Chains A and B, each alone.
Chain A
Amino acid sequence: EVQLLESGGGLVQPGESLRLSCAASGFTFSTYSMTWVRQAPGKGLEWVSVITGGSKKTYYADSVKGRFTISRDNSKNMLYLQMNSLRAEDTALYYCAKLMPGDSPFDSWGQGTLVTVSS
């Protein structure tokens, strides 16, 4: 059974940094692309970033490009999201998810970790 467990969320001030983690189990982690998706309180889903299985390619939404960095450690089955220069509009529940093979939809999701950016 695929399991994804996010951690690292919390309350930070505007301009600060935070690193989110996602622990994966139940599948061969290194062979799947992974993603972060966020959901602001009471709002819809917003795709944030994708990283391929071997970390050769990364993709970002325009709203986070240049501020967020996605990475992974396949030896530890871990996915990360480094978030710098945080803004109030980055406040959201952040989900990690696993992609189906190829440039594909997201077939398994974690339960999310909440990031609040406020002074």
Chain B
Amino acid sequence: DIQMTQSPSTLSASVGERVTITCRASQSISTWLAWYKQKPGKAPSLLIYKASSLESGVPSRFSGSGSGTEFTLTISSLQPDDFATYYCQQYNGYSTWTFGQGTKVEVK
């Protein structure tokens, strides 16, 4: 099975800062990677799919990059609504979908 590992597990940052979260796959998944945002008590929401495609309605300060086994989610200028937990997910077509363990972005 493909394992997904995110780093860091927790990230402390201030409004306006540039934030980067990394996700590594245990084997190549091409660009079959998505990123989700989840706020406490709420369902997750899709931010990015196919590693770098922005979901409709998602602010342009979010961007994704990478291919193969290493991926990043970048928030160019952190906003108050962005304090949340972020998950990566692989969907490599082997009929399994695997999430990373999550990265909590908290107030510094």
User: Which stretch (B10-18, B20-28, B75-83, B86-94) binds chain A?
Assistant: B86-94
Q: Mark A39-59, 1 if CB is under 8 A from B, else 0.
A: 000001111001000000101
Interface residue ranges of A80-119 to B (CB < 8 Å): 95, 100, 103-107, 109-112
Complex interface bits, B21-46 against A, C-beta within 8 A gives 1, otherwise 0: 00000000000101010100011111
B71 within 8 A of A: no
Cβ-closest chain B residue relative to A108: B46
Which B43-98 residues have C-beta < 8 A from chain A? Answer: 43-46, 49, 55, 87, 89, 91-93, 95-98
Total chain A interface residues with beta-carbon distance under 8 A: 22
Which residues does chain B contribute within 8 Å of A107, judged by CB atoms?
A: 46, 49, 55
Chain B residues packing against A (C-beta within 8 Å): 1, 32, 34, 36, 38, 42-46, 49, 55, 87, 89, 91-93, 95-102
- Given pairs A45-B38, A106-B44, 15 additional interface contacts (CB within 8 A): A45-B44, A45-B89, A45-B102, A59-B95, A59-B96, A95-B43, A103-B32, A103-B93, A104-B91, A105-B97, A106-B36, A107-B55, A109-B43, A109-B44, A109-B45
